[in-house]
Amino acid sequence: MLTLLKLLKDGRFHSGEALGAALGVSRSAVWKQLQHLEAELDLTIHKVRGRGYQLASPLVLLSADEIALKSPVCAGSVFISDTIDSTNAEALRLIDAGQAAPFLVLSEQQTAGRGRRGRKWVSPFAQNVYYSLVLRIDGGLRQLEGLSLVVGLAVMQTLRDLGVQGAGLKWPNDVLVGSKKIAGILLELVGDPADVCHVVLGIGINANMQSAAEVDQQWTSIQLETGCAVDRNHLVAHLSQTLQAYLERHRDSGFSVIREEWERSHLWQGKAVSLIAGVNQVGGVVLGIDGQGALRLEVNGVEKIYSGGELSLRLRDDS
């Protein structure tokens, strides 16, 4: 089925006879495959008598060669899937199988994409970027301090470079434009942080998505913000370059040198918020973050520090 999609990806008309000849199947078999493409991948295919079949808009699929050409840091191991449960899950499987880090996992589509706190990450085919970079950490607990916030800075800077000037950060792992989410980050750790471990830097970016009824929060995409479709191979390459630069700064100098830059980009700095942990809520005003990336809140006139993967931040109505 995906071989058929690759024949159609140029956005031109192709006759059923020509498609059947290329695939070695009958015209009726081509028709059935086209129906599956529309149903399973939510693609629109125009059918015009006498001309054939045409995708509603051309598709640029992910290419390891194209990405490596644009970004030498991606010239190593890049694994690209057409459809997968999630790139983080595949990254963890590759770690278990002994794949040497660093390596990058990408997919055109995720069937079980995950956000923080078990949330579903909506992952339509060939529209967005689903990206998991695996790094090996040798006895470097300091390298993990504030790491998700460093990744957020790299994602935000990449989006700004591509024209999304309003991109900013929300503690701990979201990138927003105003109140709308455009990217999210999910880090997963395997091994002993005090000895040798692997960290999966999972990043989801809404690139060319223009509609998604399943998303249960406000969202936007690069295309919606800029009015132009983005080449996802260029996006992956640029993100990889920017991420490498931030990771090198973090490795060499620690999170404290990046802390002020992160706070300048925090959209909720100085805002009244509710911090949610399960059924419990704490109200306060955001003061910033500490040297390890934990949230600093003023609660009833007292500064308190909060950290942890299950925490969620919400703006208060009076903010």
Residues annotated within a binding site: 86-88, 110, 114-116, 181
Q: How far is the first Cα of the chain from the last one, in angstroms, to the nearest whole number?
A: 51
Closest to 247 (Cα-Cα) out of 170, 156, 144: 144
- Give 199's strand partners: 135, 189
Catalytic residue at 249?
no
Structure tokens given for 88: 């983080």
Specify whether 116 is catalytic: yes
DSSP H helical segments within 27-146, as ranges? 27-41, 64-70, 87-96
Q: Which of 170, 181, 232, 259 is catalytic?
A: 181
Report the alpha-carbon distance of residue 1 to residue 255 in Å, rounded. Answer: 46
Backbone φ and ψ for 19, nearest 5 degrees, come out as -65, -40
Burial of 315 (0-12, 13-18, 19+ CB in 10 A): middle
| Catalytic residue, candidates 51, 264, 314, 316 | 314
Distances (CA, A) of 100 to 10, 77, 128, 156: 36, 9, 26, 28
Which member of 116, 170, 232, 259 is catalytic? Answer: 116
314 catalytically annotated: yes
Question: Using alpha carbons only, what angle is made at residue 287 by residues 165 and 263, rounded to the nearest 5 degrees?
Answer: 30
Active site residues: 116, 181, 314
